[in-house]
Structure formats: structure tokens, C-alpha cells
Structure 1
Amino acid sequence: MFGTFERAVAGRYLRARRGERFVSVIAAFSLIGIALGVATLIIVMSVMGGFKVDLLNRILGFNGHLGVYGAGAPLVQYEQDATKIAAIPGVVTATPVVDGQALLTDDRGVAVGGIVRGISQSGLRGLHAISHHIVAGSLDAFQGNDAIAVGIGLARRFGASIGSDVTLVSPQGAATAFGTVPRVRAYKIVAIFEVGMNEYDSNYVFLPMQAAQIFFQKPDQATQIEVRVADPDNVAAIAADVRKALGDQPVVIYDWQQNNNSFFAAVKVEQNVMFLILTLIILVAAFNVISSLIMMVKDKTRDIAVLRTLGAPRGAILRIFLMCGASVGVTGTVVGTVLGVVFCLNIQTIQGWVETITGTRVFNPEVYYLTHLPARLDWHEVTQVIVMALGLSLLATLYPSWRAARTDPVVALRNE
């Protein structure tokens, strides 16, 4: 497409000579602008993609993919129902759970509202988001009527450790002649977990199944059956199989897509908006390419006229200036891609350096839910960014190159 003559002339024009430094400086700024735009776009899209995936994994790892609830009443035959659900192809686990809200207090009077979840010891071991992230204590002691497992955020707030007491107060107390008396029960901390998501680490506690049934006055009952499947994207088909397996029982089934649809839809909208906003950086750099090429064409008018007089066709002149502009766009895109990919691959190290230098936390888990800055390189998105940057750079070169090719050598030499 580009001949030796055209490449030689384009290379000569790109090497600034004395008196032509200004055009070269503009081209350099255009290159830097494209590189920064591409790098920023790759980094931001990777971080937002990593945030979405990491958050999704933590939510699903903690809550399961399906929830089977009793329609207007707790589940009574939950053991039999869990056995039926576990036998369905594609189901990994089916765990009965007792859920409820309570006020959590310590000996100092510090109080916080939380979610109390009753689950069997084997069920909690199968919940890898908890069992694989125990930072103190052991699940071996998670049994009996006075054991409790709490998140590290709650333990820090109470200043509690293994063996400390946590008191649960339920607003749904027993009715007496003097009114409703709240149920109050103290439990001993046997395990402290760290999921890595502040909402779960600070607001959720676990009780053994029988202890939770006693506290919430639901003997031989379960609030829901948490189901985990092998393929979360196929959860709708599994839900249909679960309903068939349970027959005519009055149950309500919710999957993770229904429970978190609005949240992840908002994240997707943010990704699209950030992509459009950061594309403007590359667009501005592309306008700089246009201005630098127009100035180059103006500066090289006499050279163009001489080349046309010597027999160079208009197509050759067009390709020469296309190469001049495209080289800036291609080089800037390559440099920006390398910078963005290297930054994403080392983002945890860079975050550590920034926090060490500034002495502050870059990523506050109380605001952003997660305890670290995630980054997930999606090569499909990286390819989209590269193609978009190259496309904008090429479009930016078309008009100045066309103007150069339309130069009349007679008029140009007469004006000189």
C-alpha cells in the first residue's frame, strides 16, 4: 500500500529540522495525549470490570445462587427438601438456613444492628467464603447452643477476640402480662472471619442451626434453603428443576440475578459512561493530530508542489501525509496499551507504594465495599480500545492528507 518513496518522504517529514520544531512539538503532544488516553481507558475499564467480577464472586460466595423460601411460612420439611434439591444435576450444595435480624451488643454497651444466620457446622464449612477465610479461632468449636462466628469488622468494633461474649437481642420477644419482653442471649465467639467485603464483615454473624432455631423460636423450621450451582449463568434452568422436584409445595424461588439485577445494571451503566467520557481524551488528542498535520501541510506546500511537478501523483501525496499522521496515532496507541496493561498487572504493588508514600488508604473498604483495588484485564475490551484509538487517529489524518493531495503545484509555486 505504501511504497518505498512514500515511506522515505514521510520519515523525512517526521524528523524535524531547524525551524520546524514547533510542528514536531505539537505532534509529540498529540502522541502523548493518545498514549495517556488509551492507557487511562484500559486501566479504568479493567478496574471497573475487576470490581464487578470480584464483587459478584463475593456476593455469590456468601449468599448462594438460589434461595428457596416458604410462601408465607417457614420451611418445615427442610431436610427432605434439601436432599431432593441436592440430587438435581447441576446443583453443588443445598443448605438449610435460619435468617433473622437482631441487635448485637457487648459488655461495654456498644450496640449495632446485624443479620443473624443459623447454619449447620457442615454447611458453614461448605461456605468457602467463610471457611477459607477464618482469621482467628476454628469452626471445630462451631457447635452447641452458645457458639457464634463473627466478621472481623464487627470484632474490631467491639474490641472482641476469641472467647469474648456477644449478646443478641431480638425485638420479637415473648408476650407477657407486662407487654412484649425482648429475647436476650449471650454467645461466645469461637471464630472470626474476613470475607473482604465490609458489609458482610461488619453486619453478619453465624449461629449453629439449632441455636438459631431456639433464639428465633422456630423449632424444626428453616427460613430458606441456599442452593449453589455449578454454572451460575444457567441458574434459571436449575430454578425450574427445583420447582419440579418440590412438587406442589408453596415455595418462592429467587436467584442471584433477580436479587442483584439493579445493582449490577448500575455498574454496567457506569462502565459505559466512563468509556464514553474517557474516549473524549483520545478524541481531543486526535484533534491535535489534525492541527499538527494541517500545519505540516502548510509548511510543506512548496515541497508538495515540487513533488507534483516531478510527477508524484496525488495518491502518493495523500499516502505520505496519511503515514505521517497514522505513525503518531499508532505509536501513541502502542505506548498507551503497554502502559495500561503493565499498570493493571501491577496495580496492587502500585497501590502499596502510593499508600506507603502518602500514609493514607487509597481504597477505603467502608466506601467501596471491597478491601483492595481489583483489576481484571479483558482482552476483548483492550482490543476495542486499540481499534477505537487507531480508527480515530486514521480519521484525523484524512482531511489534512486530502488537502495536501489537492494542492495545485502551479498556484503553490506562484505564491512562493
Structure 2
Amino acid sequence: MVAGRYLRARRKEAFISVIASLTMVGVAIGVATLIVVMSVMNGFRAELLTKILGLNGHFTAFPIERQFTDYKETVEALQQVDGVKFAVYFVEGQVLASARNSSTGVTVRGMDEANIKKLSLLYNAAEQGGWDQWDTSKGVAIGYRLAQTLGLSLGDQVQIINPNGAMTPFGSTPQIRSYPVNVIFNLGMVEFDSFFMYMPIEPAQDFFKMYEDVLKPGQAPLDPLATDEEIDAAYQRVAQATAVEIFIDDPDNVTVMRERLQSDPNTRPLVMTDWQQRNETFFSALQVERVVMFTILSMIILVAAFNIISSLIMLVKDKSSDIAVLRTMGATRGAIMRIFSITGTTIGFIGTFAGLVLGLVVAANAETLRAFVSNTLGVAIFPPEVFFLSSLPSKTDPIEVTVVVCLALGLSFLATLYPAWRAAQYDPVEALRYE
């Protein structure tokens, strides 16, 4: 009751009440800022992880010991391993894409329609065109940002140049071919939308010369003087793949799955790299950034806690005669401490609750608010070219929110101890001497 009366302002105590109100606002801003920033960073990590692992497998397996001509059998064997969701094979190479006097380096990945359907993120990202009849289309699929860079639309021809072309007496000549654009996709990640191009696997194998000429079964070795017709009749062309992407049920269980995949007797020898190895530096930097941001923003709450100390000290000075009267009426030192501890903790509690509500509301509408502020000010906030994503993601973690709330309440309570202890040490005689 007494603590509640001290929180309510009277005319002569209006200044102290204003200080207490500003302290509540400071705590609320600190809590809300911490919740919003941590939610955005969680969303940023989760969205990047979803995009990266939506196209690139949890494991990438490369062949060793012999040419990768048995890629279909290898995929079938890998998919039988316990814990493997699915696997896809592909052909990949680096080329120069050119159109309308513009050119840029891109990664071309050859995949058939059945494997593209397994990658639901890519399959559902087609904005223009579609994947129907993909294997026989002899066209390509490009990201919408790459289409903007090259000035391409659906049906236009894109020229791709492979520096490792046919061998001549004068050296290697570049291989240049044109393909129609059959699909324009939008994955929402700048890297994939700007630098990836897909084509059916057979044209990709032909373009990158991913094949091997081997003698037909039962065919005896030819005489060195055999004619071209005899050579063509004796040899058959066997296609190859570059690697296999393996998707597992639990992306965090890479250590156990690596041992399981490499020890499986039905699969050929493969060299595997997992997604954690490929993105170790990137995600480690994100984790360090989260910790640093949490520590720095916690200082806002700490500053607000110091404001609680200053406002309570002023309140104790103003209420010195009240404290003396209470002590002469029989109030113990513990009772005095509880009065001022409750007063300060209430300030922190109200501020924390207000910050919690504000932070959750802002975090839930982060992208809407970003778009509104960006359109109002005419300034690009969270530009996709820098942050890789086309929208501002947000993912609130209940555990982190609980930690933030507990931190704010804990600091608010600790901030009340010294002023409350000082109030409990007041001597009633000295306090009332000049009253």
C-alpha cells in the first residue's frame, strides 16, 4: 500500500514521478529493442538456412577412383540408407552468360525434371513459365535478378560461353551456344536469383562434355588403324554427373549420417562435404554477431536500471520524514527495505511488460514496418544486395524472450537494493530533528 502511494504522483512530487515514468520508458525501450533485434537475427539465420539447404543438400558427394557414370545407381543406393530423405544428381559448371550487350558469370546446373520436383523450394519458385516437359524443352531456367541484369524475358535467347571448348591445333576454343529462357524463378535470395541457371541434364552433359566413350559389352579392342565408322560402331557414349546432393531427415545430425553413408556397403567411394563445413565461417559469424548484439543491447536495460537507482535515491531523500515516522510507529528496517524494493521493482515490472508487448508486436510486423518506413522516407532499408534476402525475416524465440524478461526484472530488482538499504538505515531522531 505504501509503495503504491509512493508511485502515485502528488503535485509537490511531480518531478520524482516524471523521473520514474522516464525510467519505465527506458526499460520498455530496452526490452523491446532486444526482443526485436534478436527476433530479426533469428529470422535472418533461419531464412538463410532454409534457402541454402532448400537448394544445396546437407551433404555434397563427389566421386573418387573412377568416372561418375553410375550416378543413377548411386542415388538409388544412397536413398536406401536410413535417415536419408532423398538424393539428387546434377552436372555443374561455370560459364559466361550474355544477352543484349550485357554479360555476367553464372553457375549452370543440369538437372532432370524428376530431381527438380524433389527440390520443392525451386520447383515452386517459378514465377514465369513452368517445369512441364522440362527434360525435352532444351531451354534454361534463370533467376529473376539475372533476367533483370541481362534484360531477358520469357522466350528470349541467352548465350552461354564455356571457355573449355573444342581442342584445335591452336589450343582450346570457347564453346558458344544459345538457349531459350523457359523458366524465370524467384527464390527470394539474391545469390541464387542472380548467379544460378538451370538446364536439362542431357544438354548440360553435352555442353560440358560430361561423357565417356567406352567399348560396347563384348566388343574386342579395335585395331589402331580402324576407320571412324568402325570406332563409332564399337564405342558407346556413357554420360557422367558432377556430384550428388544428399538431403537427410535431421540437418544437425551430420556427424552420425556421414559415418552411416560412408560405411554403407552398397554405395561407391565418395568424398563428402556437409552443409556445416561449407558454411562454417558464415554461420559462425552470425552466431558471434547474435551474442555481441545481445550483450550490447543489454546495456540499454542496464542504463535503465541505473535510472531506477537514481529515482529511488531521490524518492528516499524526499520521504525521509515519512521513513522516520514509520520507524517510530514500529516499522522494522526490513519493512522499510521492502517498501522501496517493491516501488523500484514495480517500475521495472511495468516497463518490462510494456517492452514485452511492444517488442512482440514490432517483431511480428517487422517486414510491414520496414516497407512502410522505406516507402515513406524513400530510402532502401535492409537492401537485398547486402543482406542476401529480399524481405526482412523475423522469428521470435520464446526461450530468448524469457531470458530478456528475466534479465530486465532481475536488473530492476538488483537496482532497488542499495536505495532500499539506505532508506532502512535512516535514524528517526536525525530525520525528525528539524521537522
Q: Counterpart in 1 of 2:46?
A: 53
Q: Deviations over 1:18-46 (max 9, x none)?
A: 22111111111110000000000000000
Q: CA shift at 1:109, angstroms?
A: 2.3
Tell me the amino acid that sits aligned with residue 71 of structure 2: Y
Q: Does 1:381 align with 2:381?
A: no
Q: Deviations over 1:32-67 (max 9, x none)?
A: 000000000000000000000010000000111111
Give the conservation status (yes or no) of the 8 Å contact 2:262–2:269: no
Q: Counterpart in 1 of 2:243?
A: 224
**Which structure 2 residues correspond to residues 264-275 of structure 1 after superposition, within 5 A?**
264-275=283-294
Q: Deviations over 1:292-338 (max 9, x none)?
A: 00011011111101110111111110000001101100000000000
Tell me the amino acid that sits aligned with residue 132 of structure 1: N
Mapped partners of 2:394, 2:434: distance in 1 = 57
Tell me the amino acid that sits aligned with residue 319 of structure 1: R
Tell me the amino acid that sits aligned with residue 165 of structure 2: G
Tell me the amino acid that sits aligned with residue 280 of structure 1: M
Q: Counterpart in 1 of 2:389?
A: 370
Other structure's SS at 1:233 match: coil
**Which structure 2 residues correspond to residues 91-170 of structure 1 after superposition, within 5 A?**
91-106=84-99, 108-144=100-136, 146-170=138-162
**Which structure 2 residues correspond to residues 4-403 of structure 1 after superposition, within 5 A?**
8-71=1-64, 74-106=67-99, 108-144=100-136, 146-219=138-211, 220-245=239-264, 249-403=268-422
- Once the two structures are overlaid, the 10-residue window that deviates more, 233-242 or 179-188, is 233-242
Give the conservation status (yes or no) of the 8 Å contact 1:144–1:211: no
Q: Counterpart in 2 of 1:412?
A: 431
Tell me the amino acid that sits aligned with residue 344 of structure 1: A
Give the conservation status (yes or no) of the 8 Å contact 2:4–2:343: yes
Tell me the amino acid that sits aligned with residue 44 of structure 2: F
Q: 1:281 to 1:259 in 2, by over 3 A?
A: same
Other structure's SS at 1:231 match: coil
Q: 1:226 to 1:246 in 2, by over 3 A?
A: farther
Unaligned stretches of 5+ residues in structure 1 = 1-7
Q: Deviations over 1:244-291 (max 9, x none)?
A: 235684421111111111111110100000001100111111101000
Mapped partners of 2:65, 2:164: distance in 1 = 17
Give the conservation status (yes or no) of the 8 Å contact 2:165–2:174: yes
Give the conservation status (yes or no) of the 8 Å contact 2:77–2:267: no
Give the conservation status (yes or no) of the 8 Å contact 2:90–2:242: yes
Q: CA shift at 1:68, angstroms?
A: 0.7
Mapped partners of 1:190, 1:318: distance in 2 = 76
Give the conservation status (yes or no) of the 8 Å contact 1:118–1:210: yes
Tell me the amino acid that sits aligned with residue 181 of structure 1: T
Give the conservation status (yes or no) of the 8 Å contact 2:117–2:123: yes
Tell me the amino acid that sits aligned with residue 197 of structure 1: M
Q: Deviations over 1:203-225 (max 9, x none)?
A: 00011111111111111111111
Which has the greater radius of gyration?
Answer: 2
Give the conservation status (yes or no) of the 8 Å contact 1:168–1:186: yes
Q: Counterpart in 2 of 1:5?
A: none
Mapped partners of 1:163, 1:89: distance in 2 = 43
TM-score by length of 1: 0.95
Q: 1:11 to 1:152 in 2, by over 3 A?
A: same
Q: Deviations over 1:171-217 (max 9, x none)?
A: 21222112210111111111111110000000000111111111111
Q: CA shift at 1:12, angstroms?
A: 1.2
Q: CA shift at 1:340, angstroms?
A: 0.3
Q: 1:246 to 1:78 in 2, by over 3 A?
A: farther
Unaligned stretches of 5+ residues in structure 2 = 212-238
Question: Comparing both structures, which one devotes a greater share of its residues to helix?
Answer: 1
Other structure's SS at 2:166 match: strand
Q: CA shift at 1:235, angstroms?
A: 2.6
Q: 1:124 to 1:385 in 2, by over 3 A?
A: same
Other structure's SS at 1:189 match: strand
Mapped partners of 1:59, 1:241: distance in 2 = 23
TM-score by length of 2: 0.91
- Runs of 4 or more, structure 1, over 6 Å off, are none
Q: CA shift at 1:145, angstroms?
A: 7.3
Instruction: Let me know the Cα RMSD of the aligned residues.
Output: 1.5
Other structure's SS at 1:397 match: helix
Mapped partners of 2:170, 2:368: distance in 1 = 61
Mapped partners of 2:109, 2:291: distance in 1 = 37
Mapped partners of 2:266, 2:80: distance in 1 = 14
- Once the two structures are overlaid, the 10-residue window that deviates more, 166-175 or 26-35, is 166-175
- Once the two structures are overlaid, the 10-residue window that deviates more, 8-17 or 196-205, is 8-17
- Once the two structures are overlaid, the 10-residue window that deviates more, 137-146 or 326-335, is 137-146
Other structure's SS at 1:16 match: coil
Give the conservation status (yes or no) of the 8 Å contact 2:159–2:179: yes
Mapped partners of 1:115, 1:74: distance in 2 = 22
Other structure's SS at 1:401 match: helix
- Once the two structures are overlaid, the 10-residue window that deviates more, 144-153 or 386-395, is 144-153
